[in-house]
Structure 1
Amino acid sequence: MVNHVSFIWNIAESLRGLFKPSEYGSVVLPFTVLRRLDAVLASTKAQVLEAASGQPETLNRVAAVHVHSEITGRSVV
């Protein structure tokens, strides 16, 4: 736990020069959400990446969400 706390404080120190304290939320919150999504979907990541590698680059967003939902069993919409 101590390592996590020092890690978080080190990140806060890094942000101090780039952002005002009132702006931290606009940086931290989006990355927190992305990390949470990454953690929730980690068990199916390999399957999703494999399925995506066989799809054309022009696959539209709706089709991509459908493929992802089929693999994970979760709706991302």
Structure 2
Amino acid sequence: MQMIDITELRSHLPDYIARAAAGEEIMVTRRGEAVVRLMPVKDRRAAAKEQLARLSAGALVGDVVSPVEADWSAAQ
């Protein structure tokens, strides 16, 4: 991740926006302190699919022992 001062960002804003849109993350600083991070917008559907894939990798499918028709109570 590249760090740039806000004055540099103001001088070359279109260039930095293009770089962020291409996938680069850019940290903007003011007086040496990080204040803003420029990063590309993620496709929410793709991000959700990636998270589901990560979660399903650790899940067991078909691990329910009781038949669906069995009566049960949460109090038991």
TM-score bin, normalised by smaller chain: under 0.3
* Greater percentage in strand: 2
* Greater percentage in helix: 1
TM-score normalized by the length of structure 2:
0.26
Higher gyration radius (CA): 2
